[in-house]
Chains A and B, each alone.
Chain A
């Protein structure tokens, strides 16, 4: 599956319309190697500090191509921090410092000569709260290609393609010039996904993308994620274990370890495996406790 060439966006949309809501997509038919054979991105000995506070300790993780990797764990375990390191969004936090490497296409994105803006054009991000710009639906999509100077033959086509890719076209095609704020929360979040794929990224990072949505909107976004897996690599942070179980191929479980002297909690990676293994047969006691709801 991971080597199947991309299907066209039109057929993806068709699937989306027919495709039912969550739970139906079983991943059992996907046979994946125990470790990502050809990781698209790899964090090596990643440590994050905010000032003196050690937020994340020694994370090593390889993300497989055209897979959905979920990062789960109790709050404060550093999963979102790790995610924000992968497209250098942490650069924008005053006092944040990252040590270790994040390898992407054989380059460390934290190397000195790397442009964080170039990194972000290849690695898109969808946030917790839908954050459309206070502009029209059309302009929300066209914004990314415009600011990055992408060569676009026909912007109208690109907008349509991105909206179809995010399974939103049929709902908004008649009101492209209207404000994005008129959309429902779930539509707004799919608009944010459309906005991200309009810039043709390689990876899409999602930071608890459904935590502000109702169950039906959540199901549609999850559905969309499974379709997007054909063309993109997705890394998703979620506090919702069922969601991780439903959509992800692999799951990384993080936890927080309190410092004995300062009481600060440092996040670390406990276990990383195929999602089916994590949920059926975790090898670490802490994972098992969390999965079974005893903790967190």
Chain B
């Protein structure tokens, strides 16, 4: 018997005969534990974050948190009315600006554009790139866009929505394209073969079938926007606003902005309020995500 066959025979004896899998060696098990650790480390951090924040803010879970304005004079009853309303206004206009634009761009790229042409490839690379541009840079862009359109006031609902809309536009385009791509080719062929134009096919078949996917992507984009503070700092939204937004040109604040400005305050009561506000923000984001998951599960068609 050669050496190789003897070794092989021994291996067979130890693994097959003992039933001890080679996946159960000590090294393998340590490796597997390390992978489990990587997987759940983030969850542990997230739990630590939520528990530590919730305990800090527990004293402030009251109605005043939602109905009062922020006050440095009486921090114990300080609230986030202006920020919550501001964030809702910003979301509304962000969606109004970004959603139609994003869907239109995605439809062009998926249904009309010839992907072989160099300019369409340029748009493609450009989109991937834009999705990774730091959010703070979108703030600078929004400042320039506002100046270009002749609006000189800083810190308005309009400026904030423009910044956030630009920020989530690539996200919306990318998710819409995925949703549209998931509609099978056969549906388009069926429509075109009946004499429908490409646009009729897109409008009456592809788009309706893709709506659940588009809605999910859009909501996830908005849930990213609602937590953003960096671009809002750049367009000049202040944390100290003590009134409700009244219109597009009205000055406003946003919940993440208020959290940012209160975090750097040294008064303990204000930090406590900030902790409570974080929980409010997380609940809003969780709500949006739950809505997205609900829409996906309820309406998503598997072809």
A–B touching in complex (CB under 8 Å)? yes
Stretch at the interface among B66-74, B150-158, B189-197, B287-295: B189-197
A residues within 8 A CB of B208? 134
A residues within 8 A CB of B209? 134
B residues within 8 A CB of A147? 191, 194-197, 200, 204
CB of A133 within 8 A of CB of B193, answer no
CB of B187 within 8 A of CB of A196, answer no
Known: A94-B114, A94-B115. A133 touches B192 (CB 8 A): no
Among A95, A129, A133, A148, chain B packs the most CB atoms within 10 A around the CB of A133
Is B121 an interface residue when CB atoms closer than 8 A count as contact? no
Interface size counted on chain B using CB atoms at 8 A: 22
CB of B197 within 8 A of CB of A117, answer yes
B residues within 8 A CB of A121? 194-195
B residues within 8 A CB of A132? 190
B residues within 8 A CB of A87? 193
CB of B189 within 8 A of CB of A134, answer no
A residues within 8 A CB of B301? 134
Report which of A92, A94, A133, A148 forms a contact with B190, defined as CB distance below 8 A.
A133
| Chain B positions 165 through 201: 1 when the CB is less than 8 Å from some CB of chain A, otherwise 0 | 0000000000000000000101111111111110010
B residues within 8 A CB of A192? 190
Is A131 an interface residue when CB atoms closer than 8 A count as contact? yes
B residues within 8 A CB of A95? 116
* A-contacting residues, B201-254, CB 8 Å: 204-205, 208-209
Shortest CB-to-CB span from B178 to chain A, Å, is 18
Report which of A94, A125, A129 forms a contact with B193, defined as CB distance below 8 A.
A125
B residues within 8 A CB of A118? 195
Known: A129-B186, A131-B190. A143 touches B204 (CB 8 A): yes
Known: A94-B116, A134-B301. A143 touches B191 (CB 8 A): yes
A residues within 8 A CB of B191? 133, 143, 147
Is A195 an interface residue when CB atoms closer than 8 A count as contact? yes
A residues within 8 A CB of B116? 94-95
CA distance in complex: A120, B301 (Å): 29
Shortest CB-to-CB span from A90 to chain B, Å, is 11
The chain A residue sitting closest to B195, CB to CB, is A121
Report which of B114, B189, B195 forms a contact with A148, defined as CB distance below 8 A.
B195
Nearest first, the 8 closest Cβ-Cβ pairs linking A and B are: A121-B195, A144-B194, A131-B186, A125-B193, A147-B196, A131-B190, A148-B195, A120-B195
Residues of A within 8 A of B (CB): 87, 89, 92, 94-95, 117-118, 120-121, 124-125, 127, 129, 131-134, 143-144, 147-148, 192, 195-196, 199
A-B contact pairs, 7 of them (CB 8 A): A92-B192, A95-B116, A117-B195, A124-B194, A134-B209, A147-B200, A196-B194
